[in-house]
């Protein structure tokens, strides 16, 4: 019922020469895989426009990693969702833990950004996740549930919002939660969504896992009932790794 989505987050990595990896992904994404798995790649914004051109006709959607909540105005250095859409983006990651940490983004900020993204007709990939201290204190489920409730924009539906559960301590560390912990968290997020947007929409909304997803561990994670894809950082920089994860989702 839910088509898996594998999203690549290049973070602050990638020069024009890196577009060769995107071309490699496009070549390795035949119609049979396209029918089973959706792909979105989120390069740094400097590469957005050429990435859209390079992915054209491949079925790979191109996204951005952040946006401003407002449409335009006096916000030096910021980019609006409307601008990203104009450059060819179909999706925007909002509330990544690196932005929550580096730029002090709150759930309210994330909610406003997500609202801006869906107002442009794009998909908001809303990130949530607990810190190591929160997990060790037994608070992971409560923390993530609160983030989901406070970060979801008005009008969130399965067609315009994707949730990405990314434990902060698993990002870029090579560490992952146990399979049981991932399964428990994803089921709990779906229950929270059910209370927020209704059981029907919750049943259709995609919940991605992110944090040290690699070709080696992807299948076991993606086979879980409530895991509907992955948000991939490091392993999305190389076409072979990213497409191995896409295959594991199919």
**Residues lying near ligand PGA in the complex (CB under 6 A):** 9, 166, 171-172, 210-213, 231-235
Helix (H, G, I), strand (E, B) or coil at 161: strand
For residues 63 and 101, give the distance between their C-alpha atoms in angstroms, rounded to a whole number: 21
Nearer to ligand PGA, 54 or 212 (CB): 212
For residues 92 and 126, give the distance between their C-alpha atoms in angstroms, rounded to a whole number: 9
For residues 35 and 193, give the distance between their C-alpha atoms in angstroms, rounded to a whole number: 26
Nearer to ligand PGA, 112 or 171 (CB): 171
Which residues, 6 or more positions from 213, have their beta carbon under 8 angstroms from its beta carbon? 176, 221, 230, 231, 232, 235, 245
Taking the complex as a whole, how short is the minimal distance between the CB of residue 73 and ligand PGA, in angstroms? Answer: 29
Taking the complex as a whole, how short is the minimal distance between the CB of residue 150 and ligand PGA, in angstroms? Answer: 20
For residues 92 and 65, give the distance between their C-alpha atoms in angstroms, rounded to a whole number: 6
Residue 2, both tokens: 């839910």
Tell me which residue has its CB nearest to ligand PGA: 233
Nearer to ligand PGA, 6 or 231 (CB): 231
Residue corresponding to tokens 């949730």: 163
Taking the complex as a whole, how short is the minimal distance between the CB of residue 126 and ligand PGA, in angstroms? Answer: 12
Taking the complex as a whole, how short is the minimal distance between the CB of residue 35 and ligand PGA, in angstroms? Answer: 25
Residues with a catalytic annotation lie at 96, 166
* 70 close to 117: Cβ distance less than 8 angstroms: no
Nearer to ligand PGA, 35 or 175 (CB): 175
């Amino acid at each position: 019922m839910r088509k898996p989505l594998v999203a690549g987050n290049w973070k602050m990595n990638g020069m024009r020469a890196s577009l060769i990896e995107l071309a490699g992904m496009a070549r390795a994404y035949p119609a049979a895989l396209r029918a089973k798995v959706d792909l979105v790649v989120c390069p740094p914004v400097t590469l957005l426009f050429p990435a859209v051109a390079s992915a054209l006709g491949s079925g790979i959607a191109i996204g951005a990693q952040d946006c401003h909540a407002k449409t335009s105005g006096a916000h030096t250095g910021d980019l609006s969702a409307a601008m990203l859409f104009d450059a060819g983006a179909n999706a925007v990651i909002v509330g990544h833990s690196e932005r929550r940490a580096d730029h002090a983004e709150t759930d309210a900020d994330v909610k406003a950004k997500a609202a801006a993204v869906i107002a442009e007709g794009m998909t908001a990939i809303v990130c949530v996740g607990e810190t190591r201290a929160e997990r060790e204190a037994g608070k992971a489920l409560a923390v993530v549930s609160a983030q989901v409730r406070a970060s979801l924009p008005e009008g969130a539906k399965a067609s315009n919002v994707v949730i990405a559960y990314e434990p902060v301590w698993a990002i870029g560390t090579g560490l992952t939660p146990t399979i049981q912990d991932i399964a428990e968290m994803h089921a709990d997020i779906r229950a929270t969504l059910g209370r927020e947007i209704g059981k029907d929409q919750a049943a259709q909304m995609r919940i991605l896992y992110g944090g040290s997803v690699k070709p080696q561990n992807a299948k076991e994670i993606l086979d879980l009932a409530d895991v509907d894809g992955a948000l991939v950082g490091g392993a999305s920089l190389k076409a072979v790794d990213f497409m191995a994860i896409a295959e594991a989702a199919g």
